[in-house]
Amino acid sequence: MLTDREKWLFDLHGFLLLKQVVSREDVQRMLALAEAWHAVEDADLPTPLSSYRDSGTRPTTPRSIVRVEYADPVFQRLALNPEIMRVVLALTGNAPQLLQLALTKTFCHSDDILFHQGAVGGLRNPANDYQAANGEILATFLNAAVSLVDVPPGAGGFVCVPGSHKSNFPYPNDVGIYDPPPTVVNVNVEAGDCVLFTELLRHGARRWTLETPRHTVFVRYSTSYASWSPGAGPIEEYRNELPDELYELMQRAGFQSRKRVVERLLHEMGE
């Protein structure tokens, strides 16, 4: 389901830029909900939504609202977006699990997000795998960052160290998010675009410079047999808020079993 060029680019860089994968109508709906939800405290969010940020020691950390897939069908559609799932299925060996959706709002006074990755001590975390062999790629933890606003050059936003997902040497401490290319790249996107990357990629975000806030939806997937994602899975108390396919996508499964939603997607993709 990935073209040879996409395989080459993902293996080389650790991410793919998927253009205009979300409709303008859905982008506008998500923006409206983002503005409404970020305007209230956690206690006033629709259940079971909540947020996380270090409001104590770092009150300018961007706020992320999670479990948004329970509150509106637009986020349920996003989690099953055909173009995003085309890539997720290919990279997880057709065995994906939806972990989380997070709706993040960033202001010009928000903090930088320093480099981080799914690794320990600058080297690969054995629980977060990346392999490329026999013409295929396997990535056990993926992040799809969908922008709800345009991010022009110089505005800040997502940065990464291309190729760092394959690093076999400790990460140099003097490489930071404001280093220039080719070591560090700042990926510019338009509203409706998606940057899909492996969590092993060294990534962060530069301070936002525009007066209007930056809104991003992070959709996180893993392989469905990953034992390193404790707490993942649907909240049974709110089962009725989820379509059957999304409920199934959020569950664990053995690596040899194929979910019905995956079978449906593969059939529609001609696989």
d(CA 6, CA 141) in angstroms, rounded, equals 18
At 114-159, the pLDDT tens digits run 998 875 545 556 557 899 999 999 999 999 999 999 999 999 999 9
Q: Is 182:207 a contact under the CB 8 Å cutoff?
A: no
The residue among 78, 75, 54, 76 whose CA lies nearest residue 64 is 54
Which residue type does 143 have?
Answer: N
Q: Where are the beta strands (DSSP E) in the chain?
A: 15-18, 50-52, 63-66, 96-106, 113-116, 119-120, 123-124, 130-133, 136-139, 141-147, 157-160, 185-186, 194-198, 203-206, 214-223
* Fold designation for 4-268: Jelly Rolls (2.60.120)
Lowest mean pLDDT among 6-20, 58-72, 212-226: 58-72
Whole-angstrom distance, CA of residue 159 vs CA of residue 197: 11
Q: Which two tokens stand for residue 124?
A: 């690969």
Beta bridge partners of 56: none
Cβ–Cβ < 8 Å for 71, 49 = yes
DSSP 94-127: T-EEEEEEEEEEE-TTSPPEEEE-SEETTEE-TT
Per-residue pLDDT, 119 = 59
Summarised one tens digit per residue, pLDDT across range 50-67 is 997 654 456 688 899 999
Residue 271 pLDDT greater than 90, yes or no: no
